[in-house]
């Protein structure tokens, strides 16, 4: 076993820290103990591989430490421990992930030996893959160059009706063909696109490709709706509805076939402009979807005021719902809420049979995820559909 793997235990309870240290040594770690938050600041070094962090520290609390670790771009696998309600531990876990930390899991106290051993053996605690590299944003000049060279690419991921199993629509997902880094995922360039204002042009070109494709499928008797992701930053441009309807009529695609997915995580600075734009888009017939539902800030009032026609449940809840009571409760009540407000409800991140069974049991309308299909190139869609129909015995 590899020795000398640095580990830091931040815990005010000396006995628990000693217990964790003992087990950690068995797993090839060399644990150090910080007896409080202040000591943590002295001891922490960037080469640390694993941190076991007690949330309930008295002076500097665990959440503050998570924030500091994020500021330090800490790459350690972090295990969040604590004698707290499981929902608090789960909340801290989500917060850590949202801050781009590698959270290996939670460890309720008193520490259970088996669980700790499992975490220390687990994938996440293995030396970090080069996960940060994919987040390294392309420079603005590079992004602009790629756009001028026509290197914006679009993949399509199917969505199916949960009851009829019919293939109803695709979501367009942007990719960037980078001259040296290959095909890049959105997390490598979206933030830069938004920051530089290039998002406008990028969205236009994604929408163009999606509409072109929708028109082509329509001609070959495959009438699919297409969903396009819209950055909330675009909801300040009052000319957006005209631009979108000009494009749909150019390709002869009904606006009703186009779903605009807008992430929930926006606290719009210009809520009035957003309301203006969304209302006009809806009046023109576009479907409006509230994306990543459950992760953002929408209040009941907003849900009621904004003219959404679809609710898209975020994959973090969908993926956990089969095993986690709280996640299931969120999925279940979101579906009920969506339906009561007259919206279609779509579950994203359907990865396994049990996820599918659950959304089907909970009467979700549509599903999307690796269990059904991965994002694919447009030319692969007909073959996937044949495969899907064969699986269903419908060919
Ligand atoms: P999103 O809108 O939540 O899209 C779903 C993401 O989850 C996609 O990642 C998709 O590939 C991935 N996914 C789908 N099914 C599964 C599953 O079963 N398991 C797992 N683990 N992942 C699944 P992708 O393509 O990397 O996109 C990431 C995000 O980037 C999107 O999240 C969306 O917010 C944003 N994005 C993508 N295309 C565009 C675009 O054209 N414009 C804007 N503004 N944002 C975009
Ligand atoms: Ca989306
Ligand atoms: Ca999502």
The superfamily (CATH) of domain 5-131 is Response regulator (3.40.50.2300)
Residues in the chain: 395
Contact 260, 286 (CB under 8 A): yes
**Ligand (nearest to CA of 231):** 1
Instruction: Out of 147-156, 262-271, 280-289, 292-301, pick the least confident.
Output: 262-271
Q: What percentage of the chain has pLDDT greater than the value 70?
A: 94
Q: Summarize pLDDT for 353-373 with one digit per residue, the tens.
A: 999 999 999 999 999 999 999
Work out the average pLDDT over 264-280.
Answer: 78
Work out the average pLDDT over 156-165.
Answer: 98
pLDDT of res. 129: 52
DSSP state of 59: S
Q: Summarize pLDDT for 96-110 with one digit per residue, the tens.
A: 888 889 999 999 999
**Ligand 1 pocket, residue 185 CB under 6 Å:** yes
Distance CA 342, CA 310 (A): 8
Distance CA 155, CA 318 (A): 22
Work out the average pLDDT over 304-311.
Answer: 89
pLDDT of res. 170: 98
CATH architecture of 133-391: Alpha-Beta Barrel (3.20)
Token output for 214: 């929708």
Instruction: Out of 254-258, 270-274, 385-389, pick the least confident.
Output: 270-274
For residue 127, pLDDT over 70 is answered with: no
Q: Summarize pLDDT for 228-259 with one digit per residue, the tens.
A: 999 988 998 899 999 999 999 999 999 999 99
Indicate the pairing of strand 152-161 with strand 102-108.
unpaired
Q: Do the domains spanning 5-131 and 133-391 agree at the CATH topology level?
A: no
Mutate to test the pocket of ligand 1, among 135, 292, 348 (most ligand atoms within 8 A of CB): 348
Q: Annotate 7-44 with b (16+ C-beta within 10 A) or e (fewer).
A: bbbbbbbeebbebbbebbeebebebbbbbebebbeeeb
**Ligand 1 pocket, residue 292 CB under 6 Å:** yes
State in Å: Cα 291 to ligand 3 middle. Answer: 7
Distance CA 279, CA 271 (A): 12
Work out the average pLDDT over 131-155.
Answer: 84
Q: Summarize pLDDT for 181-219 with one digit per residue, the tens.
A: 899 999 899 989 988 899 999 999 999 999 999 999 999
**Ligand 1 pocket, residue 375 CB under 6 Å:** yes
Strand ranges across the sheet with 29-34 = 29-34, 5-10, 50-54, 77-82, 102-108
**Ligand 1 pocket, residue 296 CB under 6 Å:** no
Mean pLDDT of the chain: 90
Q: Where are the domains of the chain?
A: 5-131, 133-391
Can you spell out the DSSP letters for 293-337? ETSS---HHHHHHS---EEEE-HHHHHHHTT-HHHHHHHHHHHHH
Can you spell out the DSSP letters for 63-116? HHHHHHHHHTT--SEEEEEESS-HHHHHHHHHHHHHTT-EEEEEEESSPPHHHH
Q: How confident is the model at residue 168 (pLDDT cuts 50, 70, 90)?
A: very high
Work out the average pLDDT over 128-138.
Answer: 60
Which pTM was predicted? 0.76
């Amino acid at each position: 076993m590899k020795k000398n793997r640095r580990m830091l235990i931040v815990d005010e309870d000396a006995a628990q820290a000693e217990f964790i240290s003992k087990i950690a040594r068995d797993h090839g770690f060399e644990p150090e103990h910080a007896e409080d938050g202040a000591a943590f600041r002295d001891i922490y070094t960037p080469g640390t591989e694993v941190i076991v962090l007690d949330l309930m520290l008295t002076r500097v609390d665990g959440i503050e430490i998570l924030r500091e670790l994020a500021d330090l771009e800490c790459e350690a696998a972090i295990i969040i421990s604590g004698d707290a309600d499981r929902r608090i531990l789960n909340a801290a876990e989500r917060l850590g992930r949202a801050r781009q930390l590698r959270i290996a899991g939670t460890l309720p106290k008193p520490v259970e030996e088996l669980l700790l051993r499992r975490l220390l053996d687990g994938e996440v605690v293995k030396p970090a893959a080069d996960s940060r590299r994919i987040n390294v944003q392309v420079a603005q000049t590079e992004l602009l160059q790629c756009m001028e060279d026509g290197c914006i690419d679009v993949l399509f991921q199917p969505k199916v009706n949960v009851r009829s199993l019919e293939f109803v629509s695709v979501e367009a997902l942007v990719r960037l063909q980078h001259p040296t880094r290959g095909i890049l995922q959105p997390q490598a360039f979206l933030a830069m696109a938004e920051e530089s204002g290039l998002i406008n042009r990028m969205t236009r070109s994604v929408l163009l490709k999606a509409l072109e494709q929708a028109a082509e499928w329509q001609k070959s008797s495959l009438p699919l709706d297409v969903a396009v992701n819209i950055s909330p930053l675009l909801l300040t441009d009052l000319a957006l509805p005209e631009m979108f309807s000009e494009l749909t009529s150019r390709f002869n695609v009904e606006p009703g076939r186009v779903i605009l997915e807008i992430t929930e995580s926006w606290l719009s600075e210009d809520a009035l402009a957003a309301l203006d734009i969304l209302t006009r888009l809806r009046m023109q017939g576009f479907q409006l979807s509230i994306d990543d539902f459950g992760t953002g800030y929408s209040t009941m009032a907003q849900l009621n005021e904004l003219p959404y026609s679809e609710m898209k449940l975020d994959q973090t809840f969908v993926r956990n719902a089969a095993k986690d009571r709280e996640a299931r409760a969120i999925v279940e009540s979101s579906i009920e809420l969506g339906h009561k407000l007259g919206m279609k409800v779509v579950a994203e991140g359907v990865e396994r049979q049990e996820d599918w069974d659950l959304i089907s049991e909970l009467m979700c309308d549509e599903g999307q995820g690796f269990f059904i299909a991965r994002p694919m190139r447009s030319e692969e869609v007909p073959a996937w559909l044949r495969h899907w129909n064969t699986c269903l015995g419908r060919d």
